[in-house]
């Protein structure tokens, strides 16, 4: 993510430059101050813009943080396309496990759990969009004949990511890439005994 241009005078940045400066400042403030310290005022000061410009564009602190972290998340988690569904999923969810072990990753997740007047309407479309990013990998596996034709792509993604989210958010149990791979293998292979000579 480009860092804000320190030499540009406040209020002179517009449109895309203002947007990227504010989003980068949001991530910086989140990393330094945590979720509670990430106010619109603190972000505006760090980005060198007026607070009112931030409110005009994003409407609320929650929308601002959600957009900043989503950009980070999608940049940190490109959707791989190796031609093998198991490798794609292990790479993708290995990256998620690493991300959730960071302060920024956990902040994104905690923000999604917070409730306020602006968020309930946005949570479901937001997560539906994230889920769809992952489901693409499973759908390709079905098309290649690697997975059963009646596979529910979203359900596979929910089973793997749900266990990772739960560790980050609820149990506090450790997160690592090995765990991600084991979850991928469980959802692909299942826990039933393998047929001799079968997969």
Closer to its own copies by Cβ: residue 17 or 110: 110
Task: Among 6, 9, 15, 170, indicate the residue that binds its own copies (CB under 8 A).
Answer: 170
Q: Six-digit token pair at 193? A: 């005994």
The site string for its own copies over 1-40 (x = CB under 8 A, - otherwise) reads ----------------------------------------
Which residue, among 141, 38, 19, 53, has the nearest Cα to 92 in the 3D structure?
141
Residues 6+ apart with CB under 8 A from 180: 90, 93, 94, 96, 97, 160, 164
Assess 128 for contact with its own copies (CB under 8 A): yes
Q: Which stretch binds its own copies (CB under 8 A): 19-27, 50-58, 67-75, 159-167?
A: 159-167
Question: At 140, which helix (H) or strand (E)?
Answer: helix 120-143
Assess 146 for contact with its own copies (CB under 8 A): yes
Assess 186 for contact with its own copies (CB under 8 A): yes
Assess 180 for contact with its own copies (CB under 8 A): no
């Amino acid at each position: 993510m480009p860092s804000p241009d320190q030499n540009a005078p406040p209020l002179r940045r517009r449109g895309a430059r203002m947007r990227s400066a504010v989003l980068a400042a949001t991530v910086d403030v989140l990393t330094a101050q945590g979720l509670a310290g990430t106010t619109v005022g603190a972000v505006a000061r760090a980005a060198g813009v007026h607070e009112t410009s931030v409110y005009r564009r994003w409407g609320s602190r929650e929308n601002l943080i959600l957009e900043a972290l989503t950009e980070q998340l999608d940049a940190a988690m490109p959707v791989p396309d190796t031609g093998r569904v198991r490798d794609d999923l292990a790479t993708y969810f290995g990256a998620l496990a690493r991300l959730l072990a960071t302060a920024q990753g956990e902040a994104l997740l905690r923000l999604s759990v917070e409730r306020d007047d602006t968020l309930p309407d946005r949570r479901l479309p937001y997560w539906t969009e994230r889920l769809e990013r992952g489901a693409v990998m499973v759908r390709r596996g079905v098309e290649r004949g690697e997975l059963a034709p009646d596979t529910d792509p979203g359900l596979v993604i929910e089973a793997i990511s749900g266990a990772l989210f739960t560790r980050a958010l609820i149990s506090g149990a450790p997160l690592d890439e090995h765990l991600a791979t084991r979850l991928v293998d469980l959802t692909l292979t299942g826990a039933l005994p393998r047929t001799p000579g079968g997969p």
